[in-house]
Structure 1
Amino acid sequence: MSLRGKRYRRVFSVLARHGFDDVVAMLSGNKLLHWLLPGPKASFDERERWVRLRMVLEELGPAWVKFGQILSNRPGLLPDELTEELSKLQDKVAPVTEQEAAKVIFDTFGKTTQALFKSFNPVPIASASIAQVHLATLHTGEQVAVKIQRPGIEEIIKGDLLLMRDIAVLMTRSKDFATLKPRQLVDVFEKSILEELDFEAEQGHLIWFGTQLADDKTIRIPRVFQELSNKKVITLEYLEGIKISQTGRLKAAGYDLKLIARNGFEAYFKQIFEWGYFHADPHPGNLLVLPGNVIGILDFGMMGRLNNHDRRALVEFIIGLGKDDTWRIVENMERLQGKEVEDRKELEKDVEQFILDFGSKSSKDIDLNEVISRGRKLIYRHNLEINPDLFLMLRSISLLEGVGMSLDPQFRSLEMVKPFAFGLLRKAVHPMKLLKSRTLMALLADMGQLAYSLPSDIRRIMDRIRNDQFKIQTESKATRQLAREVRIAAKRISYAIVFATFLSCGLFTELFWLKLSLLSAAAASLLALVFVRKV
Structure 2
Amino acid sequence: MTSVAASRAGASPRTGTGLGAIPGRVLTVTRTVIGVAARVAGLWAVATLTGRRHALPAATARAVATRLHRAGPTFVKLAQLLGTRLDLLPAELCAAFSRLYDDVPAVSPRTARALLADRLGAPPETVFARFDAEAVASGSIACVYRATLLDGTEVAVKLRRPGVERIVAADLRLLAWGTALLARTPLMRGLPAVAAVRQMSEAVAGQLDFTAEAASLVRLSAALESVEGIRVPLPHPGLADAARTSRGLLVMEYLPGLRRFSPAELGREASVRAVETALSGIYKILFLDGLVHCDLHPGNLYPMPDGTVQMIDAGFVVRLPEAARRAFTEFFFRMGTGNGRRCAEIVLSTARYPAGMDAAAFTAEMVALVDSVTGARAADFDLLRFAAGLFELQRRHGLHADPLFIFPLLGILVFEGAINDHHPELDFQELAMPYLIQALFTRR
Question: Taking structure 2 as the reference length, what is the TM-score of the superposition?
Answer: 0.81
Conserved 8 A contact 1:242-1:250 = no
Paired residue for 2:88? Answer: 77
Q: Aligned residues, how many?
A: 405
2:254 to 225, 238, 263: 238
- For each residue in 1:192-245, what CA deviation from the matched residue of structure 2 results, as whole angstroms up to 9, or x when unmatched? 011110000111111222234445432212121143232211111111134465
* Alpha-carbon distance, 1:272 to partner: 0.5
* 2:187 maps to 1:171: no
* 2:328 maps to 1:314: yes
Instruction: Name the % identity.
Output: 26
Conserved 8 A contact 1:368-1:414 = no
* 2:339 maps to 1:325: yes
Helix, strand or coil at the partner of 1:415: helix
* 2:271 maps to 1:248: no
* 2:359 maps to 1:344: yes
Paired residue for 2:48? Answer: none
* Alpha-carbon distance, 1:283 to partner: 1.2
Conserved 8 A contact 1:326-1:352 = yes
Q: How does 1:392-471 map to 2 (within 5 A)?
A: 392-428=407-443, 433=444
Conserved 8 A contact 1:287-1:298 = yes
**Structure 1, unaligned stretches of length 5 or more?**
24-45, 434-535
Distance 1:413 1:379 in 2: 25
* 2:237 maps to 1:222: no
Conserved 8 A contact 1:76-1:381 = no
* Alpha-carbon distance, 1:282 to partner: 1.3
Distance 2:171 2:343 in 1: 39
Letter in 1 for 2:182: M
Paired residue for 1:487? Answer: none
- For each residue in 1:33-79, what CA deviation from the matched residue of structure 2 results, as whole angstroms up to 9, or x when unmatched? xxxxxxxxxxxxx9965444333312211101211221121224212
Q: Which has the higher helix share?
A: 1
Paired residue for 1:441? Answer: none
* Structure with larger RCO (C-alpha < 8 A, sep 6+): 2
Paired residue for 1:294? Answer: 308
- Distance change in 2, residues 1:154/1:143 (3 Å): same
Conserved 8 A contact 1:91-1:128 = yes
Distance 1:366 1:359 in 2: 9
Helix, strand or coil at the partner of 2:143: strand
Conserved 8 A contact 2:292-2:411 = no
Q: CA RMSD in A?
A: 3.2
Question: Taking structure 1 as the reference length, what is the TM-score of the superposition?
Answer: 0.68
- Distance change in 2, residues 1:353/1:399 (3 Å): same
Conserved 8 A contact 2:146-2:156 = yes
Mean CA deviation greater in 113-122 or 199-208: 113-122
* 2:210 maps to 1:210: no
- Distance change in 2, residues 1:289/1:140 (3 Å): farther
Distance 2:375 2:221 in 1: 42
Mean CA deviation greater in 412-421 or 89-98: 412-421
2:29 to 1, 6, 11: 11
- Distance change in 2, residues 1:15/1:271 (3 Å): closer
Distance 1:226 1:424 in 2: 32
1:265 to 272, 276, 279: 279
- For each residue in 1:345-373, what CA deviation from the matched residue of structure 2 results, as whole angstroms up to 9, or x when unmatched? 23113213313533596786433443233
